[in-house]
Amino acid sequence: MKVKTGPEKIIPILAAYPEAGRDSLIPLLQDVQEAEGYLSREAVVAVGRHLGLPAGKVYGVATFYNQFRFSPRGRYHIQVCRGTACHVRGSGTLLGRLERELKIAAGETGRDGLFSLEVVSCIGACGLAPVISVNGEYHGHLTGDDIPALLEDYRNRETDEDD
Amino acid sequence: MKIPITVNGRTVEAEPGEMLLAPIRRAGYSVPTLCYGEGMTPTGACRLCVVEIEGRSGLATSCATPAEAGMEVLTHSPRAVEARRTIVELLLARHPDDCLYCARHGFCRLQDLAEDLGIRRRRFPADPLPTRLDISSPAIARDPAKCILCGKCVRVCEEIQGVAAIDFSGRGSETRIAAAFDEGMNISSCVYCGQCVRACPTGALAEQDSTGRVLEALQDPELTVVVQHAPSISVTLGEEFGLPAGKDVDGLLAAALRRLGFDRVFDTSFSADLTIMEESSELVRRLETGGPLPLLTSCSPGWIKFVEEFHPRFIPHLSTCKSPQQMLGAVIKTHFAKLAGIVPGKIFSVAIMPCTAKKFEAARPEMAREGLPDIDAVLTTREIARMIRMGGIDLARLEPEESDPPFGERTTAGKIFGAGGGVMEAALRNAHYLLTGSPPERLELKEIRGPAGIKEAEVEIAGRKLRVAAVSGTGNARRVLEEMEAGLRELDFIEVMTCPGGCVNGGGQPYTADPETIRKRVRALYRLDRSGERRVSRENRSIQRLYREFLGEPLSEKSHRLLHTAYSPRDVTK
Ligand code: SF4
Ligand code: SF4
Ligand code: SF4
Ligand code: FES
């Protein structure tokens, strides 16, 4: 199942911002990401054209905010909570381990499209800190060493579903 | 009303709204700056220019703090000096120890500052950031490891050039200067003007170095290596060798090039005359056949890319003339090859240019015939200066020599191409001739000289009024195009130079931040024109001969094949 990308999908979004100027950039990008799951190149360019901003500028602004992604989500989207509770209980180590195991950085998607990684501010499960969520399933009280098995588990699900 | 302040106890006056930096300089003190740039929005980003203001607790950035009456400024108090030293030490913390291998070695602001502030050891050691060189484009090389995030490149590109190919991306420790999608410059909207290179205080931006390829060609016994030098080079090169700005070193340059081993030395001012022959004929034809007007000049390759990317509607307005570099390239590998009895494939054709975008132009696929590029390598003024130094040649001590026939003669109309407005002036001189049979009484068009970015004039030729403009800096060009579209300006002929002020301020010229240096370069060109014996392109006897023996006449079929080209819209955003 491939997400359909390309400007057709975002035309109605742009249309909702007629005569928009630079102040509309962030809300527009949010809407586009909401609809497409990420900011495709085509979308960044189209948003820039709509607002009269060069693509480099739009990209520069968008990369300033953690919330924007530039690749589609993977089949399993991992969110690492960096809220205060998780932070003091070692979410930094979890993130580092995930990045190493998956060979991607926060905000990226692995080549095989299986996993994507995101850092979020607080997912409201402080009791489980440090916690990550994978497609909405919470996994709490994790240590770095729990990560390989957890990823393996999702990888196996993938093969099961394919079979 | 003037605003009185004191700087280190001396009274000076500031203009209303003026930042402290200017009156400090007028008082005879120099405060170091990094992120400040003449004509750009001050951002106060680097904090290097901090000074102490009596009665204020914190230090103030002099480039971004407006002068207020009664301010008592101390520029070199122990606190201010210590703060500056710490700033530089912090900038150096992650900086690679690369000076020996750096394109900016010897011309680097960061190096100067470390030296001026007496920094002799790394006080804050930190690992360099993992970064990637970007050598994807034909013209500009980026080494983000050397970037100190001053933002000057971003502001030049956006505020002055109106391109905004690069911007700050990411944040915090991940902040970086990047083109869209962190991709290479080659697929960005960059027009390769090199103004960011000139603005950059470090080696994070540089031209793509072509000296290696040229040195190799010079060593190859099979090749005839010919070189051409652009009109502005002779009035800027001297600066690299300690001569005063604006000193014309035309003859010394020719002598130095021969000593480096170039087999023929040609003058691009010759082909500037050739460009004028073609372009003024094109102007006259368009005037007589109804358009499309305004005619837009086409000798500045950054501007061409700019139109193709951002204003493709104006493509039909662009003159079809190739630039002087490419025209000369084309006649070298055809006419000259034949005269000299050399196979075109055995000619290696080098152009010395004030410009980084010329590297891109030479590499355009349209600029080749039968797989042979018209120009094989482009060197900036800085690169040829490097080669002259490498060759152990003492420029100032040489005896002047002449450029070589058949492309060594020029009129001063061709020479003033180097200054913004010069192409227009040269074209109108010749057009007047074409329309009336004689050159204009008033050769000099003072209205379109000088440093302004948009200059307009009205000239009358053969009873017809022509509205002309000379525009420099692509940001200004954008303004003019937009105003024309909105019906606010009506023009018949527009010269556009990519770089503010024209080639004398090109992206490949010797580094300077001093506007007076640029003015001296301009004055030198007009001085040559004033004392010139031949001041209208058609009076160039070598040009007359070239038409007689080879091209026929301007806009002939052969001219079209060799000297003209076509443009197409580009989408660079993918
Ligand atoms: S940018 Fe300047 S300080 Fe850095 S390596 Fe190059 S010359 Fe040295
Ligand atoms: S070369 Fe010119 S267009 Fe390209 S990034 Fe630098 S300033 Fe911008
Ligand atoms: S590339 Fe040069 S001009 Fe641009 S931010 Fe870095 S140091 Fe400053
Ligand atoms: S030069 Fe003033 S803050 Fe950078």
Q: How close, in Å, is residue B167 to chain A by CA atoms?
A: 6
Contact between chains at B179 and A56 (C-beta distance less than 8 A): yes
Q: If you average pLDDT over residues A46-75, what whole number do you get?
A: 87
- Identify whether residues A117 and A147 lie together within a single domain: yes
Query: Which A residues, 89 through 128, put their C-beta within 8 Å of a C-beta on chain B?
Result: none
Rounded to the nearest integer, the mean pLDDT of chain A is 85
Q: Is the CB of B234 within 6 Å of ligand 4?
A: no
Among chain A residues, CA nearest to B179: A56
State which residues form the domain around A54: 8-64
Closest CA relative to residue A116, chosen from A76, A159, A83 = A76
List CB contacts (< 8 A) between A57 and chain B. 158, 164, 167
Instruction: Give pLDDT, residue B567.
Output: 95
- SS3 (DSSP) at A118: strand
Give the end-to-end CA distance of chain A in Å, rounded to a whole number.
16
State which amino acid sits at residue B346: K
Residues A82 and A42 in one domain: no
Question: What does the block give as tokens for A5?
Answer: 């990308």
Task: Let me know whether A42 and A115 are in one domain.
Answer: no
- Per residue, what are the HEC states of B280-311? HHHHHHHHHHCCCCCEECCCCHHHHHHHHHHC
Q: Which ligand is nearest to the CA of B192?
A: 2
pLDDT at A69: 85
Do A81 and A155 share a domain, yes or no? yes
Cβ count within 10 A of residue B190: 29
- A53: domain CATH number? 1.10.10
CA distance B166 to chain A (A): 6
The pLDDT value given to residue A162: 57
Interface contacts A/B by beta carbons within 8 Å: 54
A93 with A23, same domain?
Answer: no
Return d(Cα B62, Cα B46) in angstroms, integer. 11
Please give the positions of B annotated as active site: 279, 282, 299, 319, 358, 361, 366, 503
Helices A55-64 and A25-36 meet at what angle, rounded to 10? 80
A140 and A84, same domain (yes or no):
yes
Q: How high is the pLDDT of residue A163?
A: 53
List chain A residues with CB under 8 Å of B573. Answer: 41, 45, 48, 55
Residue in the structure block whose two tokens are 């501010």? A121
pLDDT per 10-residue tile (average), chain B, 574 residues: 94 94 95 91 93 94 95 96 94 91 94 92 83 92 95 95 93 87 89 97 96 97 97 97 96 98 97 96 93 94 96 96 97 97 97 98 93 96 97 95 96 94 94 89 88 93 93 96 93 97 97 93 96 93 96 96 94 62
CATH T-level fold of B122-207: Alpha-Beta Plaits (3.30.70)
Domain limits of chain B?
3-76, 122-207, 212-563
Whether A89 and A139 share a structural domain: yes
Which ligand is the nearest neighbour of the Cα of B306? 2
**What pLDDT score does B128 carry?**
78
- Is pLDDT at A160 greater than 80 in this prediction? no
**Predicted model pTM:** 0.89
**A54 within a domain of the structure (yes/no):** yes
**From CA B181, how far away is CA B189, in angstroms rounded?**
12
* CATH number of the CATH domain containing A124: 3.40.30.10
Nearest CA to ligand 2 atom 6: B196
Number of domains in chain A: 2
Nearest CA residue ID for atom 7, ligand 3: B147
Interchain contact, A57 vs B178, CB within 8 Å: no
Q: Give the gap in angstroms from C-alpha B164 to the nearest C-alpha of chain A.
A: 6
Asked if B180 is an interface residue toward chain A (Cβ–Cβ < 8 A), one would say yes
Query: Do A59 and A81 fall within a single domain?
Result: no
User: How many A from CA of B237 to the centre of ligand 4?
Assistant: 30
Closest protein CA for atom 6 of ligand 3: B147
pLDDT beyond 80 at A3: no
β-partners of residue A119 are A80
C-beta B461 within 6 A of ligand 4: no
What would the CATH number be for the domain defined by B212-563?
3.40.50.1780
- Indicate whether A51 and A89 sit together in one domain: no
pLDDT at A15: 87
The response to whether residue B165 sits with its C-beta less than 6 Å from ligand 2 reads: yes
Ligand 4 close to Cβ of residue B44 (< 6 A): yes
**What would the two tokens of residue B449 be?**
């000289």
Structural element, H or E, at residue A38: none
Q: For ligand 1, what atom is nearest to the CA of residue B114?
A: 3
- Contacting residues of A for B182, CB less than 8 Å apart: 59
Residue A116 has pLDDT above 50, yes or no: yes
- Residues in chain A with CB shorter than 8 Å from the CB of B478 are none
Q: Are B39 and B70 in contact (CB under 8 A)?
A: no
pLDDT of residue A4: 37
Least CA distance to A71: which residue of chain B?
B181
Say if CB A88 and CB A141 are below 8 A apart: no
Q: Decide if B181 and A57 are in contact by the 8 Å CB cutoff.
A: no
Put simply, the answer to whether A56 touches B167 (Cβ < 8 Å) is: yes
Q: Domain B3-76 belongs to what topology?
A: Ubiquitin-like (UB roll) (3.10.20)
Could you give the CA distance from residue B235 to residue B248 in angstroms, rounded to a whole number?
Answer: 5
Rg (chain B; Cα; Å): 25
Residue B562 confidence (pLDDT):
96
From ligand 1's centre to the CA of B52, what distance in Å?
Answer: 29
Contact check, Cβ <8 Å, A63/B165: no
Same domain assignment for residues A102 and A155: yes
Q: What is the ipTM of this complex?
A: 0.71
pLDDT at B497: 97
* Structure tokens that stand for A1 in this block: 């199942």
Is there a single domain that holds both residue A88 and residue A137?
yes
B530 in helix, strand or coil? Answer: helix
User: Does the beta carbon of B36 lie inside 6 Å of ligand 4?
Assistant: yes
pLDDT of amino acid A5: 41
| Residue B98 Cβ < 6 Å to ligand 1 | yes
- DSSP letter, residue B41: -
**B573, HSE (Cβ side, Cα atoms, 13 Å):** 23
- What pLDDT shows up at residue B64? 94
Distance CA B355, CA B505 (A): 9
Residues A33, A59 within the same domain: yes
Inside any domain, residue A70: no
